[in-house]
């Protein structure tokens, strides 16, 4: 960071589209990528006289998000009109929540693997949790697309249930902001609350940034950056904006509270509008909607809470006896976690299955530009493959060859592929013969092993592997050599 004697305070406002079948206040479907203006009705078009009807599923999903993040839900919540004039909201108000939102307090845990990869060794505050101010539920607006000299509006998005998640200004760096977004996304995807795909605009982010000199100083002048549409843009723009603010103060200038935007083409922030007066949205209770009692819904949600990412990590560590790091990698995505659990079902040494998934499968997927959900190989087959190695039927290197074949022909059976390749367990008496021959031919190393240098056995094992043309199981060969000589 440019000047270590400044304290940075960042707060995030994240808008997340909920994964529901229908919209917040009408029965229109929620779907991405369809022909513009084909999923609309008088309510989500904002036509006069059209009345809203609440989507219970959206309320439950927001309560679920809140429960997972440790929020409190007031016993009664209500709906308010946020008044403003803009073409993407033709009724001139957005139905939102003002003083009685669905969730208050709580926090987002920052997971280690959620930090940028190049920063995971320098995490300033491991185990940090960022306090939430609130989560409220509102309706998404229509999507404007600006062309050269005209603008088009698509109302398919209008009325999609939208959670607004507001954090306290407790984030201290651009890297923590990245960790916050990735951790939040992981939790929301895990629990089925949202797909939270930033590329599809399902998760959108505004940030507030200020810097000050000493902890005792009040928070510095707040600059808001609007509509940051990817995690990498959040990181880049925060670095830029922090440096810019410090630079201004160092020059003796003061800042004006304002909204800025990030221009990715030139790689800098630029002023949108100053905010000398706070926006006045003239909130008032929506007369078309009754307040909602939440107690029953909260109890219902609490009765079947899904496992959180960090809870899964702990369970993987103890159930499968794998390291914290491996467990974190496997639990980083719900699909990957489920895949591993299926592959490890009935495995004698689940750790080997974990290693295989992390070291071989993920690498192969990456090379083919695939995600775990597109993985052609069924998890059970990975379990079978690792089982063949464990049983000594094939060696680890042979297993890699079987795996390549399996990846190209996922319908085949690992055992059958091994047989086709001639990877059958070598005849034990033949291997014994090789071992005796190698010991006789290499008195030097054999003598060292006999004197207690177990490492010298590696050389002998290598010789046996050569003689058997890779068919012998190296672990068993080493064991036999040691048994014979020591
Ligand atoms: Zn509609
Ligand atoms: Mn909002």
**Same domain membership, residue 214 and residue 106:** yes
The stretch 423-429 carries a mean pLDDT of 72
Domain boundary among 301, 330, 360: 301
User: Quick one: pLDDT at residue 396?
Assistant: 87
| Ligand 2 centroid from CA 138, angstroms | 7
Q: pLDDT at position 423, please?
A: 82
Per mean pLDDT, which range of 2-16, 47-61, 408-422 is the poorest?
A: 2-16
pLDDT in tens, 442-463: 999 999 999 988 888 999 999 9
Residues with CB under 5 A from ligand 1 (ion): 26, 28, 41, 43-44
Q: How many domains does the chain have?
A: 3
Determine the structural domain holding residue 452 and report its residue range.
Answer: 428-485
CA dist., res. 216 & res. 218, Å (int): 6
What is the Å distance from ligand 2's center to 329 Cα?
Answer: 33
232 and 348 in a single domain? The answer is no
456 occurs within a structural domain = yes
329 and 245, same structural domain?
no
pLDDT, the chain, mean = 93
How many Cβ atoms are within 10 Å of 369's Cβ, its own excluded? 7
Two tokens at 272? 């949108």
Q: How far is the CA of 44 from the centre of ligand 1 (A)?
A: 4
pLDDT at 278: 64
Q: Which of 394, 420, 446 is the last residue of a domain?
A: 420
pLDDT, position 139: 98
Q: Is the pLDDT of residue 2 over 50?
A: no
Of 61, 51, 48, 62, nearest in space to 27 by CA? 51
User: pTM to 2 decimals?
Assistant: 0.84
Domain identity same for 34 and 167: yes
pLDDT band at 1 (very low <50, low <70, confident <90, very high): very low
Q: What DSSP string describes 115-168?
A: S-GGGTT--SSTT-EEEEEEEEEEE---EEEE-SS-EEEETTSTT-EEEEEEE-
Coil, helix or strand for 206? strand
The predicted model gives 78-86 an average pLDDT of 95
Q: Output phi, psi for 151, to 5 deg.
A: -130, 140
What's the 208 CA to ligand 2 centre distance in angstroms? 14
For residues 241 and 210, the answer to whether their CB atoms sit within 8 Å is no
Ligand 1 mean position, distance from CA 194 (Å): 20
Span from the CA of 77 to the centroid of ligand 1 (angstroms): 23
Q: Is position 463 within any domain?
A: yes
pLDDT value of position 471: 73
pLDDT digit string (tens) for 214-257? 888 899 999 999 999 999 999 999 999 999 999 999 999 999 99
- For residue 121, pLDDT beyond 80: yes
Q: With respect to residue 1, please indicate whether it lies within any of the assigned structural domains.
A: no
pLDDT digits (tens, 9 = 90+) for 322-377: 999 999 999 999 999 999 999 999 888 999 999 999 999 999 999 999 999 999 99
Whole-number Å distance, alpha carbon 23 to ligand 1 midpoint, is 7
What residues pack around ion ligand 2 (CB closer than 5 A)? 164
Same domain, 250 and 355: no
CA of 66 to the centre of ligand 1 (A): 26
């Amino acid at each position: 960071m440019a000047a270590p004697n400044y304290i940075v305070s960042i707060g995030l406002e994240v808008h997340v589209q909920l994964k529901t079948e229908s919209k917040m206040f009408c029965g229109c479907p929620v779907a991405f990528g369809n022909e513009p203006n084909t999923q609309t009705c008088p309510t989500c078009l904002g036509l006069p006289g059209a009345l809203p009807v609440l989507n219970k599923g959206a309320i439950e999903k927001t309560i679920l998000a809140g429960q997972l993040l440790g929020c409190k839900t007031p016993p009664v919540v209500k709906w308010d009109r946020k008044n403003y004039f803009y073409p993407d909201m033709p009724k001139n108000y957005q139905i939102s929540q003002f003083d009685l939102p669905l969730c208050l307090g709580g926090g987002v845990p920052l997971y280690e693997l959620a930090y940028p990869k190049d920063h995971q060794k320098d995490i300033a505050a491991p185990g940090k949790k960022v306090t939430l101010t609130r989560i409220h539920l509102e309706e998404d607006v229509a999507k404007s697309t600006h062309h050269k000299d005209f603008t088009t509006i698509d109302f398919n998005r209008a009325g999609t249930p939208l959670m607004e998640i507001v954090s306290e200004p407790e984030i201290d760096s651009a890297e923590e902001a990245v960790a916050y977004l990735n951790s939040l996304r992981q939790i929301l995807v895990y629990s089925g609350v949202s797909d939270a795909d930033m590329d599809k605009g399902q998760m959108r982010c505004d940030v507030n940034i200020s810097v000050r000199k000493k902890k005792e100083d009040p928070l510095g002048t707040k600059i808001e950056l609007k509509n940051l549409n990817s995690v990498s843009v959040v990181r880049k723009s925060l670095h830029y904006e922090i440096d810019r603010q410090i630079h201004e103060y160092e020059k003796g200038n003061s800042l004006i509270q304002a909204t800025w935007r990030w221009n990715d083409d030139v790689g800098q922030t630029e002023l949108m509008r100053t905010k000398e007066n706070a926006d006045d949205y003239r909130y008032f209770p929506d007369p078309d909607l009754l307040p909602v009692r939440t107690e029953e819904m909260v109890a219902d949600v609490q009765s079947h809470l899904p496992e959180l990412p960090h809870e899964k990590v702990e369970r993987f560590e103890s159930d499968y006896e794998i390291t914290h790091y491996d467990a974190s990698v496997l639990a980083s995505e719900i699909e990957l976690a489920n895949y591993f659990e299926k592959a490890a079902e009935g495995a004698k040494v689940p750790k080997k299955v974990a290693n295989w998934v992390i070291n071989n499968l993920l690498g192969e997927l990456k090379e083919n530009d695939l995600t775990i959900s597109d993985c052609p190989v069924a998890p059970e087959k990975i379990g079978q493959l690792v089982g063949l190695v464990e049983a000594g039927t094939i060696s680890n290197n042979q297993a890699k060859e079987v795996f390549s074949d399996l990846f190209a022909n996922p319908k085949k059976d690992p055992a059958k592929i091994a047989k086709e390749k001639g990877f059958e367990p070598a005849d034990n008496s033949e291997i014994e013969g090789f071992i005796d021959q190698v010991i006789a031919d290499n008195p030097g190393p054999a003598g060292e092993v006999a004197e207690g240098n177990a490492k010298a056995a590696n050389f002998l094992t290598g010789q046996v592997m050569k003689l058997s043309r890779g068919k012998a199981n190296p672990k068993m060969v080493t064991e036999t050599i040691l048994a014979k000589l020591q």
